[in-house]
Copies of this chain bind each other. A is one copy, B any other.
Amino acid sequence: MLHKNRLFTPGPTPLLPAAQNAMAAFTAHHRTADFKALFQRVLADMKEFVGTKNDVLVLACSGTGVMEAAVSNLTSPHDSVLVLTAGKFGERWTGLGRAFGCRVEELAVPYGETFSLDEVGARLSFNTRAVFVQATESSTGVRHDIEGIAKLVRARSDETLLVVDAITGLGTTHLDVDGWGIDFIIGGSQKALMMPPGLAYCAVSERSWRSMEKTTSPRYYFDLRKERKSAAKGETAYTPATSLFAALGAALDFVRAMGKGDLSGGREALVNNAELCAAMTRAGAKQLGLKLYASSPAAALTAICAPEGIDSGKIVKQFREWFDAVVANGQGEMKGKIFRIAHIGYYDYLDTIGILGALEHVLARVTDKNVEYGAAVRAAQEVYARALGEKPQLVNA
């Protein structure tokens, strides 16, 4: 059977055709009025997309590049920082903090779990320079309580910075950046913005800018003060990834159209879309007797435990071989134990129902147990029908 190659991975995600076209068509040089106009429009739109009055900067790098920028711009060697870690991306904060000579205190919870706010509060001290956390931990599919964590940080000290890796979180979960007092929030192009990898962005609070005047960690390409100065003149410090800016412009237009002319409304529509796809997928997986890995599942992706005795790599392989659908295996010690289906950005009803139908065939192939065809799909359809206010026409239910 013909199979279309489809990504169900938590980044890169499916590409928006309008973004692909814009990217392919763009040829302008980066030091021209044409690019400047695009650049300025995109930066202004990005503030609305992120939902902040803070400066937003867009850099040519992966999300990890801007994670490094957060550490190298906001800390000095020997600074005390608190890393809240619950997976591979939490551990990346620890690695970055140590690389730049910080005294890293880790609050680590087991994979699949999230933090107790009491414990977070207990670990915060007045000399904590910064708290680093993920909005959603893509390696385990967990959603962290950023609002709760932000309240604790803001209540403790005016000097402690809250840094949130929202690379998979922005556009898949509700985040009130300014209202909650998030000082530094990070996103990436290959996520809810429906574009290829290559751009990452951050929103930087006034508190962050002030602290950058004093920090001494080495940085050059990722020196955000330089980038901010250039942005004020309508340009980037170094050569920007021009075609990706064109794609970003098109993606933002699409998000605005989703919000009927309002970009922040569009972002909320994207979030609701991911929430619905995720709720459908969770219901489908449960109906098949599968266990969800995350105690507090994110809308960005659903991490599902492989059935007892089955390597999840086999499931990932069957999806690829039979359907050309790319789902993600677990990472690190979760490899072989879980598989992950993403809902970030450009997914719709047909994608979600299709991948659940495929999951039923995959399970039938890898397990001895009977799989009732249509069962996961039906459970997802019931979630959809309830969510969209469709009259519930359920037989056998």
A residues sitting closer than 8 Å to B (CB atoms) are 1-4, 6, 21, 24, 258, 269-270, 272-273, 276, 322-325, 346-351, 353-355, 357-358, 360-361, 364-365, 369-375, 377-379, 381-382, 384-385, 388, 390-391, 393-396
Cβ of A2 and Cβ of B270 under 8 Å apart? yes
Closest 7 CB pairs of A and B: A374-B378, A350-B354, A374-B374, A353-B357, A373-B381, A364-B393, A372-B395
A322 CA to B389 CA, complexed, in Å: 12
Q: List 22 A-B contacts (CB under 8 A).
A: A1-B349, A1-B388, A2-B270, A2-B273, A2-B348, A4-B351, A325-B350, A350-B357, A354-B354, A357-B357, A357-B377, A361-B381, A364-B391, A365-B390, A365-B391, A371-B393, A373-B381, A373-B393, A373-B394, A374-B374, A374-B378, A374-B379
Contact check: which of B374, B379, B381 meets A381 at CB < 8 Å? B374
Sample of 9 more A-B contacts, CB < 8 Å, known A354-B354, A370-B393, A377-B377 = A1-B273, A2-B270, A4-B350, A325-B350, A357-B357, A373-B378, A373-B385, A373-B394, A374-B378
Contact check: which of B269, B354, B369, B385 meets A349 at CB < 8 Å? B354
Cβ of B371 and Cβ of A374 under 8 Å apart? no
Q: How far is the CB of A154 from chain B (nearest CB, A)?
A: 34
A385 CA to B358 CA, complexed, in Å: 11
Cβ of B350 and Cβ of A351 under 8 Å apart? yes
Cβ of B346 and Cβ of A4 under 8 Å apart? yes
Cβ of A360 and Cβ of B347 under 8 Å apart? no
Residues of B within 8 A of A393 (CB): 364, 369-371, 373
